[in-house]
Structure 1
């Protein structure tokens, strides 16, 4: 292996390591993040075997991670004439894809939390001995979640 190839591999490894740390902040696990960066850096679509070879992980781990990335709409299956195995590639518009995925996940989680907190508040209000302090705390928590929801809805509208 010559020095140029060695340098390219070193830079590639550093990119995967550092970029994947950022992607982990988007609630992807380490394997999913590393796989996405690997696919993002690779010009050609990849098979599960190529992913496995590139990251040194099991084929099962690559299959699971690629399914998650597909679910989040960050990668896509592609067709290549003559290919017998499934091929995957990272989608373009990196910022847009991650922000939409991240914002939508936040909005879904916030909606669930608000619903749960409102249910707790309703149960508390139905009790004979109303606990005013607890009711105030629940209202404050709901207000907090609604504020977050407003922010993420504004971000969502901006991206459209």
Structure 2
């Protein structure tokens, strides 16, 4: 089984992937790690902040890794922002039956009431070297975009509105 976890920055994708790893013993791939490996090794001229271009560059690689894992009957959790909303178009039915997808979205109300906590938990699993770009306005805009795109493409999502309690049963 493949588990895809996406969502805006600071929604808890990596924390959820870590929880699933501990519960199910499925390895996980952070697309951010792949991104930084390719950038730091000089295999691309892209920069860490070019989200659309990075999705176009990284998704074909990740997509084929997912197919390979399915073909080998291996479990894998893939987490990151670089999963396109139309990801289903890249897999036929035989692959799709092996993939579970979840997009994490923070509601506007949650962001307004818990922004300090959102920032405080930014390094819960990975250490962020520079989080100064993350403002309440950027978090609001990014989560609004993810919500609109999930609705447009019919993607499964969890809207975090009250208390933060995200889980994923396989």
Q: TM range, normalised to the smaller chain?
A: under 0.3
Q: Which has the larger radius of gyration?
A: 1
Higher share in helix: 1
Higher share in strand: 2
TM-score w.r.t. length of structure 2: 0.23
Greater relative contact order, per chain length (Cα 8 Å cut-off, separation 6+): 2
